[in-house]
Amino acid sequence: MLDKQVCKNIKMVLLDVDGVMTDGSIFINHDGEFFKSFNVKDGLAIELLRSHHILVGVISGKASAALDTRCQQLGFDEIITGCKNKLPALVNILLQI
């Protein structure tokens, strides 16, 4: 469980995807389509953060329909995908919160 005292100054948690929300594996089918494996436990962590009124977002260098779907399922407040230069995106988010 998250400690309310620790969380009171946290406004947002931003995540990368590959190696953070996934184990880094990519599965490719016979048509060349690729798939990522997401850990279901991330959903609980996101839910806990949101229950403490902490915003949650993702900035990913890659873009995919699977990633967009997973982020929407988890109720992310900020979803930025296909972002090769993450620093300007981060600065923009920081200016908004």
Paired with 26 in beta bridges are: 36
SS3 71: helix
**Residue 89 to residues 23, 84, 94, Cα–Cα distance (Å):** 24, 10, 9
Which pTM value belongs to this model? 0.79
Sequential pLDDT tens for the chain (97 residues): 667 777 778 899 999 988 788 877 888 888 888 777 888 888 888 988 888 889 999 999 988 888 899 899 999 999 999 999 999 999 999 998 8
